[in-house]
Amino acid sequence: MNDEYFIKIALDLAKQGAGFTSPNPMVGAVIVKDNEIVGKGFHEAVGKAHAEVNAINDAGLLANGATLYVTLEPCNHIGRTPPCTKKIASSGIKRVVVAMRDPNPHVQGGGIDFLTDIGVEVATGICENEAKKQNEIFIKYINTKRPFVIVKCAATLDGQIATMTGDSKWVTSEKSREYVHGLRHLCDAIMVGIDTVKRDDPALTTRLDGINCLDPVRVILDTHLSIPEEAKILGMDSNSKTIIITGDSFSKDKKKRIEKKGALVVNSPVKNALIDLDHLIDYLGSINITSLLIEGGGKVIASAFKAKIVDKINFFYGSKILGGNNGKSICNGLGPALMKDSIQIQDIDVTLFGNDVLIEGYVWPKRNMQCPK
């Protein structure tokens, strides 16, 4: 069993913190002595102990002289918790294997330098690409203060998300929809347009069996504040809030009534009669939203691509064909005249959910995704 074997175990441990650690990264750690795991830990939630601390506490005295495998460079600064490097030093750990360096430009390398200076052997870059993908949200946000944006849609094989009447239940299978609820749990916020609210009256919550999930912040694009006051998202018992993004043309009395229901109404600049999404992304980042899941509809998805705010796509295709051109397309509006001007998607993964197909990929070129080598 080599370093890669134990780092992969740490990466699996890190996944258990998915959805709970924001704005912190997901981190897993294992402690190995005489080729046996003697301690495990992961970062369970923001404000709680880091993975290294949990693993060292799990190992107890067996940490002395052992090797620590951790998916992210140990912190050497005081944040919500004390620096992990001090805990490592006091435990007697002799070697530390790190998957990826800290992407925070203000602290990167500090933990490794501290450990090296006190005589701890440090190896880096083991399963680095896997670690970077696992924390792609954190990497984007810590470098730009803008959320990582995922566009999700569910379409028929001929590219339509609903029939001519707006019926979309159900394009894909229950397995696919369960995966989407996992995405909602992972992301800080979810965004749809007002047309989706009026047509479907969605809850935009997370529902996963056996998991105490977090609901994403619900962001509704509603330029003229035309949301029905009886809309489901304005009267739910949820562990998250609803934000209505509107322009300057709306009823102030209606705003007061909506805010009494617990929603937040935020004014935003308008561009070409639509909410300026580039400005909105800056706003969401300013309120510590590190990730945004865009679920539609077609006008919102098209606007997101035009505004160049999208980092990643999750396109689900159900095993259905509408067989006409009068349904609702994934993107609603005018596209480019030439194929060479289309949006390029790279690093594609394909996953089957029964007869459904998920195409996952990244908008190219990747923007503001710096991470130290």
Per-residue burial over 23-58, b if 16 or more Cβ lie within 10 Å, else e, is ebbbbbbbbbbeeebbbbbbbeeeeebbbbbbbbeb
Those residues whose C-beta lies under 8 Å from the C-beta of residue 237, and which sit 6 or more positions away, are none
CA 7 to chain centre: 22
End-to-end CA distance of the chain: 25
Annotated active-site residue 52? The verdict is: yes
Classify 176 as helix, strand or coil.
helix
Give CA angle at 136 (131, 139), nearest 5°.
100
Tokens of 97: 């294997």
Which residue shows structure tokens 């490794």? 112
Query: Can you list the pairs that 256-260 forms with residues at least 24 positions away whose Cβ atoms lie under 8 Å?
Result: 257/229, 258/225, 258/227, 258/229, 258/234
Active site residue: 4, 36, 44, 52, which one? Answer: 52
Tokens of 370: 């710096």
The whole-angstrom separation of Cα 258 and Cα 271 is 24
Q: How many CB atoms lie within 10 A of CB 5?
A: 13
The whole-angstrom separation of Cα 252 and Cα 292 is 28
Residues acting as catalytic residues: 52
